[in-house]
Amino acid sequence: MCQTVITNMLDASFRCDRCSAQAFRMYALLSTDRCPDGELFFCVHHANQYHNALEPLTEFLADESYRLYEGIKDDHWVEGSPVKN
C-alpha cells in the first residue's frame, strides 16, 4: 500500500528521471530481492503517467505538486484549472 506524504524536501536540484524537468514527486520503492531500496523522481506529468504502475511497488510517495500552485491568487483562479485567468 502506497502512503502519500506531503513534504518540503525536493528542491530544484531534484530532476525527473524521465525528462529531466524539476521533480515534484518522489517514489520510495519497496525493497525486494530483485530491486533493493531505491527512489524514483518524476515531474508531475510523468508521475501521473506512471502512477498506477508504480503504486503497488511503492512504500511511500513524497508529493510536492502543491508548490506548482503557490502564489496563484484566488481571484485569478479558473475553476478546474491550475492556470491563471
pLDDT of residue 82: 55
pLDDT of residue 57: 87
Taking the CB of residue 80, how many other CB atoms lie within 10 A of it? 6
- Region of residue 22 (left: phi > 0; alpha: psi -120 to 50; beta: else): beta
Residue ranges of domains in the chain: 3-76
Q: Which residues contact 13 (CB under 8 A, 6 or more apart)?
A: none
Per residue in 52-83, pLDDT tens? 999 888 888 888 988 887 766 665 555 555 55
Q: Which residues contact 75 (CB under 8 A, 6 or more apart)?
A: none
Could you tell me the sign of the dihedral formed by the alpha carbons of 4, 78, 82, 70, in that order?
Answer: negative
pTM of the complete model: 0.72
Q: How confident is the model at residue 32 (pLDDT cuts 50, 70, 90)?
A: low
pLDDT of residue 18: 96
